[in-house]
Amino acid sequence: MRARYTLACMGIAAWGTLAVPQLASAHCDAINGPVVVAARQALEKGDITPVLRWIKADGEAEVRAAFDRTVAVRKLGPEAKELADRFFFETAVRIHRLGEGAGFTGLKPADYDPGRAVTAVDQAVEAGSVDEVVHLVTEAVSKGIRESSL
Let me know if 43 is exposed, middle or buried by CB neighbors in 10 A (0-12, 13-18, 19+). Answer: buried
Task: Name the DSSP letter for residue 23.
Answer: G
Which helix (H) or strand (E) segment holds residue 69: the answer is helix 60-74
Question: Do 35 and 107 lie in a common domain?
Answer: yes
**DSSP reduced 3-state for 5:** helix
The DSSP-derived string for 75-138 is TT-HHHHHHHHHHHHHHHHHHHHHHTT-----PBPTT----HHHHHHHHHHHHT--HHHHHHHH
Question: Do 38 and 58 lie in a common domain?
Answer: yes
Question: Could you list the residue range(s) of the whole structural domain that residue 41 is in?
Answer: 27-111
Q: Which residues pair with 30 in a beta bridge?
A: 108
Which of these ranges, 68-72, 82-86, 118-122, has the smallest mean pLDDT?
Answer: 118-122
pTM: 0.66
Question: pLDDT tens across 4-59, in order?
Answer: 444 455 454 444 444 443 333 457 888 888 899 999 999 999 999 999 999 999 99
Question: What is the reported pLDDT for 21?
Answer: 36
Q: How far is CA 138 from the centre of its chain?
A: 24
Total domains in the fold of the chain: 2
Question: Do 63 and 124 lie in a common domain?
Answer: no
Question: What is the reported pLDDT for 150?
Answer: 65
Question: What is the reported pLDDT for 22?
Answer: 36
AA identity, residue 121: V
Q: Please indicate, yes or no, if residue 1 is contained in any of the structural domains.
A: no
CA dist., res. 95 & res. 98, Å (int): 5
Question: pLDDT tens across 91-108, in order?
Answer: 999 999 999 888 888 998
Residues of the chain with pLDDT > 90, as a percent, come to 43
CA dist., res. 38 & res. 35, Å (int): 5
Average confidence score pLDDT of the chain: 81
